Amino acid sequence: MPIGVFDSGLGGLTILRALQQRMPEQAFTYLGDNANTPYGTRDAYDVFDLTTKSVQTLFDMDCELVIMACNTASASALHRMQVSWLPKGNRRVLGVFVPMIENLTRRDWGDNAPPTHTGLENVAVFATQSTIESAAFPREMKFRARDVNVVGQACHGLVDAIEVGDAALCKTLVEHHVAELLERLPKPQAAVLGCTHYPIVESLFRAALPEGTKLLSQPDIVADATFDYLTRHPRYKEDGDTQYFTTGAAEKVGKLAELFLGQLANWQKV
Ligand code: DGL
């Protein structure tokens, strides 16, 4: 069975590409909810309803394992889904959020020991409004890492600018949001791009952040975590190609997706 990869739109393709590079033989089915993007300005109820609908679509396409390649959905819907929605059996949904926290704190998600000194004192998080409002990232960091200060910046407008490929607007927005963050946290030790769209403009973040700030690559971290998961749970592995689905207009989405994928792909509407 293929592994499902879901995002509100095209951002999840940054995760998909890293997964494909890490596991070239594995079959994937990508679904972008382009008809309802962006999720980042919606409330948690809305994000939950839309996310469960799309994940159900992937389950119906025989994907037993779904990677939720969307921080907004991972931060505000995944926990509720796992507790009250996910059917019993072998179906699993893994978010992009947990591997980032594990990587930063060097602690397993299931490790419930009291917070320890991790050497992390200040971390910047750039994400959508909804992810920042969920406060999930600072909450989970502080649960594991003592003395860590997490400062979030909601990057209004950036997802839309990336989806339409407006490079000049992306540059202006990234510089603006980084400057706002640096006013509150002048020298972040590490910066997290907590939205799967943002790796597309990673070089803009790199240029705007102080030289000493370590910029984490979420796609690589998620690909490594998924690879480990599949080694432990080989039942979800299957060789094959990638299929691309969207809830939006397939032709238009296919053209925009080229920017993310670096190649043309055949997109189908669900
Ligand atoms: N790519 C999604 C994320 O990682 C959000 C984009 C949106 O606002 O829909 O948060």
pLDDT digits (tens, 9 = 90+) for 15-36: 999 999 999 999 999 999 999 9
Strands across the sheet containing 65-68: 92-95, 65-68, 3-7, 28-32, 242-246, 267-269
* Helix/strand/coil for 108: coil
Q: Cα(64) to centroid of ligand 1, in Å?
A: 23
Q: Are residues 208 and 109 in the same domain?
A: yes
- If asked whether residues 92 and 104 sit together in one domain, one would say no
- Phi, psi for 124 (deg, rounded to 5): -100, 140
pLDDT in tens, 142-196: 889 988 999 999 999 999 999 888 999 999 999 999 999 999 999 999 999 999 9
From 15, 30, 159, 164, mutation site for ligand 1 pocket: most ligand atoms within 8 A of C-beta: 159
- Residues 212, 108 share a domain: yes
Separation of alpha carbons 68 and 265, rounded Å: 21
Cα 8 to ligand 1 centre (Å)? 6
| Active-site residue, 70 included | yes
> Which atom of ligand 1 has the smallest separation from the CA of 195?
4
Residue ending a domain, choose from 217, 234, 255: 217
| Whether pLDDT at 97 is above 90 | no
Label residue 117 by pLDDT band (50, 70, 90). Answer: confident
β-bridge pairing 190-193 and 122-127: parallel
List the catalytic residue out of 63, 70, 155, 170.
70
Cβ < 6 Å from ligand 1: which residues? Answer: 7-9, 11, 37-40, 70-72, 128, 131, 159, 195-197
Do both 195 and 135 map to the same domain? Answer: yes
Domain termination site, one of 217, 241, 260:
217
CATH at residue 73: 3.40.50.1860
Residue of 68, 129, 195 best suited for mutating to test ligand 1, as the one with most atoms within 8 Å of CB: 195
- Residues 199 and 249 occupy one common structural domain: no
Tell how far the Cα of 158 is from the centroid of ligand 1, in angstroms.
10
How far is residue 248's CA from residue 51's CA, in Å, rounded to a whole number?
15
* Residue 61 and residue 193 in one domain: no
Same-domain pairing of 109 and 182: yes
Share of the chain above pLDDT 90, in %: 83
Establish whether 155 is a catalytic residue.
no
* The last residue of a domain, from among 217, 232, 253: 217
Q: The whole model's pTM is what?
A: 0.94
The residue annotated as part of the active site, out of 63, 155, 170, 195, is 195
> Can you read off the two tokens belonging to residue 70?
């969307």
* Count of domains observed in the chain: 2
The domain of 23 spans 3-96+220-269
The reply to whether 253 and 240 lie within a common domain is yes
Same domain, 176 and 128: yes
Same domain (yes/no): 137, 201: yes
Please give the distance, rounded to the nearest whole angstrom, from the Cα atom of residue 52 to the centre of ligand 1: 15
Nearest to residue 154, comparing CAs of 197, 214, 194? 194
Same domain, 92 and 106: no
